[in-house]
Amino acid sequence: MTATAAPVRVDAFGLTDPGRVRQSNEDHYVIVSLQKTVQVRQASLPDARAFDGLRGPEALLFVVADGVGGRPGGALASETAITALVEYIGQAAGCFHNLDVDREHEFLEQLERAVHQAHERVAPTAGARGYGPATTLTMATLVWPRAYLVHVGDSRAFYLRKGRLRQLTRDQTMGEYMVEAGAWTEDQARAAPRAGVLASAVGGNEMTPAVGLVDLQPGDVLLLCSDGLTKHVPDERIAQILGAAPDAERACRELVAAALAGGGSDNVTVIVARMQE
C-alpha cells in the first residue's frame, strides 16, 4: 500500500504468520488510511478544482495486536480489539483535522479512548475469574510528520533513522516491571519463567496504555511488530533488513523469514512503513 501523507509518500505493508510451532495465529494487524475529502460529483462551475483545497491531511493508522497465548480466545481478543479500535477512530476521524498544538491533547485523548473502548469490548468475556481473552495492542497514527503512539503489552514499535534502530515502546511485562522496581536484576528477569507475563493487556486485569510520539523524517522507517519477531531476531538484524529492503513488502517478508529461521516459536506479525524521500 502506498499512501500520501504529504509531503512524503508512505510505502506501508503488513504481514502475519503463525510460525513453526503454533497451530493457530492469534495475531492480527491493520493498516488504515483516514482522510477528509470533498469529491465533486457534478457541477456547472467553470472550475470545480478549487474544491480540491478542501481535501484534509491524510492520517495513517497502523495497529498490531497479539492475542495472549494460552488463554482461550486469544485470536478473537486481538480481532475484537482491532475492530473496536478502528470503529472508534473511524467515528472520530475528524479529530485529526486542523490538528494544531491546542488540539493535540484532545487528539491524544481520543486515541487513548479508542484503546479503552477496545478494552471494554474485550474485557467482558473474561468471566468472574478475570482470566479470559486478552491481547497486546500497539498503535501508531501518522499525521505527517508526527507519529502518535499508544501501546499496551509487549508488542513493539521501532523506527530506523540513518541505520540506527530506536525502540519507541517499552514492554509491559512482569519482568520489566520487576527490573524497573529494582526487585530483579536483568539476569534474574531473563531466567524467570513468569518474566514474560503481561503486566498490562487489553482485556486483562490491568490495562495501562503508554502514550508517546515521535516526529519522523523522510527516509525513516517505522516498524510495528509482535514479540514473535523480537524473540528470534536481534535488533541489529532488524536494522539491517529494514535498511536494505527495497520496499515495505520485501522488508516484511524478510523479517518474517528471519523470525521463522530463528525458530518461529510464536506467531509473528510485522508492519513496515517507509517514509519515502
Partner 1 sequence: MIQKKICMVGLFGTGKTSLVQRFVHSRFSERYLTTVGVKIDRKEVEVDGAGITIVLWDLAGRDGHEDITASYLRGAHGILYVADGTRRETCDQLPELRALARDAAGDVPGLLALNKADLADQWALARRDEEALARDWGLVRTSAKTGDGVEEAFQRLARATLAAKEARQ
101 interacts with partner 1 by CB under 8 A: yes
187 interacts with partner 1 by CB under 8 A: no
196 interacts with partner 1 by CB under 8 A: no
104 interacts with partner 1 by CB under 8 A: yes
Q: Closest Cα to residue 133, out of 236, 194, 193, 204? A: 204
Burial class (CB in 10 A: 0-12, 13-18, 19+), 197: middle
Buried b (16+ CB within 10 A) or exposed e, 210-235: eeebbebeeebbbbbbbbbbbebbee
CA dist., res. 68 & res. 20, Å (int) = 17
One of 30, 93, 99, 210 touching partner 1 (CB under 8 A): 210
49 interacts with partner 1 by CB under 8 A: no
Shortest CB 214 distance to partner 1, Å: 3
Q: Which is nearer to partner 1, 215 or 277 (CB)?
A: 215
180 interacts with partner 1 by CB under 8 A: yes
Residue 247 to residues 1, 40, 226, Cα–Cα distance (Å): 10, 34, 20
Compute φ and ψ for 147, nearest 5 degrees: -105, 115
Q: Which is nearer to partner 1, 5 or 149 (CB)?
A: 149
Task: Tell me which amino acid residue 28 is.
Answer: H
Taking residues 149 to 168 in sequence order and writing x for each that binds partner 1 by CB under 8 A, - otherwise, the string is x--------------x-xxx
Q: Which is nearer to partner 1, 212 or 262 (CB)?
A: 212
Among all chains, which residue has been given the C-alpha cell 517478508? 253
In the complex, the residues that contact partner 1 under the rule CB under 8 A are 100-102, 104-105, 108, 146, 149, 164, 166-168, 170, 179-182, 210-215
